[in-house]
Amino acid sequence: MPANVSKPRTKPPEERRDELMTSAERLFLERGLEQTTIEEITTGAGVAKGTFYLHFSSKADVLQALRARFVQGVLDGIVTAVEGRRQEDWHGKLAAWSTACATGYLDAAGLHHLAFVAAPPATREGLSRNILIDHLNELLAAGAGENAWSVSDPGFTAVFLFNALHGVVNQPGIGEAPSDRAELLRAIEAHFLRALDLPSGVD
């Protein structure tokens, strides 16, 4: 081999794992979990079949990883939106939280249905404790500490608001048209603000 030609580098394990998950997500959405084979997943990721088992034990294991990636992606969007507000703009932070969370669910409605509805997790704990609820809990507690609103139990309020939002965006076909989505996001924001006795700007 000529000296100026470098050997192809092996991709980092995290990148290989992510490629397998992306391939699996596409196939699960197109064909369904049961109809998709592990060989199809590895072919889609451009790796040998044995590579799958270096990262996952089964298709159910991949699905669990897709659940975690979905929720982390929603949280990343929320954090970016909230941190984009001024430090003292608690009203804006709460509004941004509701909009970013709802948008994250709506943008990946197919994956959410596949991972949490068609093949639900073994427990329902996610609706009472997850990283999204934890983040909202922290926001509500911090805002209360700055007298931006009055919340006697931020944890309870976070669970209540998250589940209300989750129930709305989980309705089939909701928010598909751009105009419908804009109206939906305004309504969700208004209800978040009203729950804390804040002006919503929506009659």
Domain 66-195 grouped into CATH 1.10.10: no
Other beta carbons less than 10 A from residue 29's beta carbon: 14
Check: pTM over 0.85? Answer yes or no. Answer: yes
- 51 Rama class: left (phi>0) / alpha (psi -120 to 50) / beta: alpha
Return the closest-CA partner of residue 112 out of 79, 81, 80, 73: 73
Q: What is the pLDDT of residue 123?
A: 66
Q: Tens-digit pLDDT profile for the chain (203 aa)?
A: 444 444 445 788 899 999 999 999 999 999 999 999 999 999 999 999 999 999 999 999 999 999 999 999 999 999 999 999 999 999 999 999 999 999 999 999 999 988 888 777 766 667 778 999 999 999 999 999 999 999 999 999 999 999 999 999 998 888 889 999 999 999 999 999 999 999 986 54
Pairwise CA distance, residues 34 & 156, whole Å? 37
Q: What is the pLDDT of residue 96?
A: 98
What are the boundaries of each domain within the chain? 11-57, 66-195
Q: State the fold for domain 11-57.
A: Arc Repressor Mutant, subunit A (1.10.10)
Q: What is the pLDDT of residue 125?
A: 66
Other beta carbons less than 10 A from residue 47's beta carbon: 18
Pairwise CA distance, residues 144 & 142, whole Å? 5
